[in-house]
Amino acid sequence: MEENYKDDQLWELMARVLDGEATASQRNQLERILEKEQKLKRKFEELKAIRKAKVEINDTNQYNKRSFDQLKQKLETTQQSTKRDFSASGWWQWAAASVVLLLGLGLWWQMNGTEPDYLELTAPVGEVAQYTLPDGSQVWLNAGSSLHYRKDFQDHRETLLQGEGFFAVQKDAEHPFTVNTGSLTTRVLGTSFHIQAYPEMKEEVEVALFTGKVEVEKQGGKVLAVLSPGEQLHYQHEIVAVSTFEQTTVGEWRYGKLNFYQASFEEVIAKLERKFDVEITTLGTAGDEFRLTAKFDEKATLNEVLEGLAYLQSFEYTIHQQNVELRF
């Protein structure tokens, strides 16, 4: 690694950048490291998204050394390790403990003026996971996604989604069910709906309603839309669009299917990496006009998917273990 950071130095660099205390030179140094460690880069973006969604940074301008020490101690205790290897795989484990990290950095959940305890559900890369929440609601998480929910969930049905999820919510008029995704909150009483808000989508959020009714609002309480079944909301850069969708195509990832609809090149790469747990590099460019619409069933292998995409988009590819190279 070009920067050749020691253990403590890299911890401090990461903490400074997340706390907004890094200099321009330090930010550039971290960017160079992240460019060489793509998995680390994706997880670092997830941490920033979690922070932006429901945390508040200590306003002091002085670097919080105590928070940094707590951060390091908590993570080392969690992973039972006395020395860290800052490889992509090591940082993957580091990012998985994102809630512990956020607390260690002095970033606090702000809900109703308290700091509630949260539990985490995850879907590892390459897998789809289904869970039953304490109130009986069902949630499916797509590969590489996570859901945080309050420990006192029966009384406060509040969650934070990172990635893609499908929810079948138990009715409870006295306790609305909310899903926070960055700057948006989806509020329901009892319904089924799909939400997509991966970190690489850059504050782009999609909410698709299957049954019931949901209200989508911005932080601060401004209502953007009230959706009826068959309607979806697309939000990006303060622009809101509501349209209809085909229920037979949205959310089919729950059954292992892989669907693309007018997907950008970046979206295609991100989906493939999450579903098949691979790292994809490219030689050449796909072009700004790249848009893909395609469907693959649950039995399709990575090679079969790439073969189909290569035919549609005119590229060559090679697969070596968990690494894929696309050549345009």
pLDDT (0 to 100) of residue 139: 95
Which of 47, 76, 109 marks a domain boundary? Answer: 109
Kindly state whether residues 99 and 123 are assigned to the same domain.
no
Span 182-194, mean pLDDT? Answer: 86
Which of 83, 109, 135 marks a domain boundary? Answer: 109
Lowest mean pLDDT among 46-60, 151-165, 220-234: 46-60
Q: 143 lies in a domain?
A: yes
Pick the residue with more confidence: 33 or 5? 33
Q: 177 lies in a domain?
A: yes
Kindly state whether residues 133 and 224 are assigned to the same domain.
yes
DSSP bridge pairs for 231: 244
pTM: 0.62
Q: 305 lies in a domain?
A: yes
Distance between CA 44 and CA 86 in Å, rounded?
A: 13
Q: 232 lies in a domain?
A: yes
CATH number, position 176: 2.60.120.1440
Distance between CA 139 and CA 244 in Å, rounded?
A: 23
CATH number, position 269: 3.55.50.30
Pick the residue with more confidence: 32 or 134? 134
Q: What is the count of structural domains for the chain?
A: 3
Specify the DSSP element, H or E, that contains 115. Answer: none
Kindly state whether residues 232 and 265 are assigned to the same domain.
no
Distance between CA 238 and CA 222 in Å, rounded?
A: 12
pLDDT (0 to 100) of residue 248: 75
* Residues spanned by the domain of 33: 7-109
pLDDT (0 to 100) of residue 287: 77
pLDDT (0 to 100) of residue 207: 93
Kindly state whether residues 103 and 138 are assigned to the same domain.
no
pLDDT (0 to 100) of residue 201: 67
Pick the residue with more confidence: 227 or 50? 227
Kindly state whether residues 206 and 151 are assigned to the same domain.
yes
Kindly state whether residues 162 and 186 are assigned to the same domain.
yes
* Sequence-separated (6 or more) residues with CB below 8 Å from residue 259: 249, 252, 253, 294, 295, 296
Pick the residue with more confidence: 247 or 326? 326
pLDDT (0 to 100) of residue 179: 94
Lowest mean pLDDT among 10-19, 228-237, 247-256, 277-286: 10-19
Q: 252 lies in a domain?
A: no
Which of 77, 109, 141 marks a domain boundary? Answer: 109
Summarised one tens digit per residue, pLDDT across range 39-92 is 667 666 666 655 554 443 333 333 344 444 444 454 444 434 333 333 333 333
Burial class of residue 262 in the structure, from the number of CB atoms within 10 Å of its CB (0-12 exposed, 13-18 middle, 19+ buried)? exposed
Strands (DSSP E) found in 151-278: 158-168, 177-181, 184-188, 192-197, 205-211, 214-218, 223-227, 231-236, 239-244, 258-263
Lowest mean pLDDT among 10-24, 238-252, 284-298: 10-24
Kindly state whether residues 34 and 65 are assigned to the same domain.
yes
Span 29-40, mean pLDDT? Answer: 76
Summarised one tens digit per residue, pLDDT across range 189-205 is 778 999 988 876 667 88
Pick the residue with more confidence: 160 or 3? 160
pLDDT beyond 60 at 177: yes
pLDDT (0 to 100) of residue 71: 45
pLDDT (0 to 100) of residue 122: 93
Closest by CA position to 272, among listed 227, 235, 246, 305? 305
pLDDT grade, residue 303 (50/70/90)? very high
Q: Tell how strand 129-132 and strand 205-211 pair up.
A: unpaired
